Structure 1
Amino acid sequence: MPKTHQHYANTTPARRMKQAAKIGRNTAILVERLMRDRPHPQQGYRAAQGVLSLARRYGSERLEAACDRALTINALSYSSVSTILKSGLDQASPVAEPVKPAPAHGNIRGSSYYQ
């Protein structure tokens, strides 16, 4: 095994989950999904470790808020969580609620028109 990969040989999904759970519930869910959504959990180790390392730079509270936001908008990647933290979206107001449907009007054709 190459030296760059030997570091991950002693890592297990349970160990990553334990580290993430120390930060918070949303972080644990995100890390679990990073590993679960790949064909092999080992493919998600690097992304999971990247997410966990963001706690050193931004703090556990901000990382937990960023993971919550990432889960809400279904942006499940290291780069998404990092971007949320860099842009300060973790400290912004919660994700806006979905737009309400347009009111009924004679000039609006609706979905049945396109079938």
Structure 2
Amino acid sequence: MTHVPISYDIPIFVFIALALYTTYKLNKVRNYLLEGALKKSYFWLVVASIFFTLWAVSHLVSDFLGYGDLELILHYGISHGFLLISMLCIAISAQKIQGAYKELAGKLRAKKKK
């Protein structure tokens, strides 16, 4: 088992702080929005941000505890799963944002034609 010096993890501590701040800000913006497509897309960004935070915490735990071979394989499965879920949430959000703006653009074009 190998342990990583804490100084190597300074960037991950900064990452966790930024991820928590981002989650807070995205959720605040989401609460400002009324019901609609943008509010739903922000939900997915908040979820992605939470999973990025979980990924970073999982990474820190593995650095501090050190894992044997089997535990390391399980850790990477969980860690990569968090990243996959985060990216999937961002993709869903992007699709919902595109749909919202496409709908808005259609309404604006229809309004101009009148």
* TM > 0.5 fold call: no
- In the superposition, the TM-score normalised over structure 1's length comes to 0.30
Bigger helix share: 2
Q: Larger RCO: Structure 1 or Structure 2 (Cα < 8 Å, ≥ 6 residues apart)?
A: 2
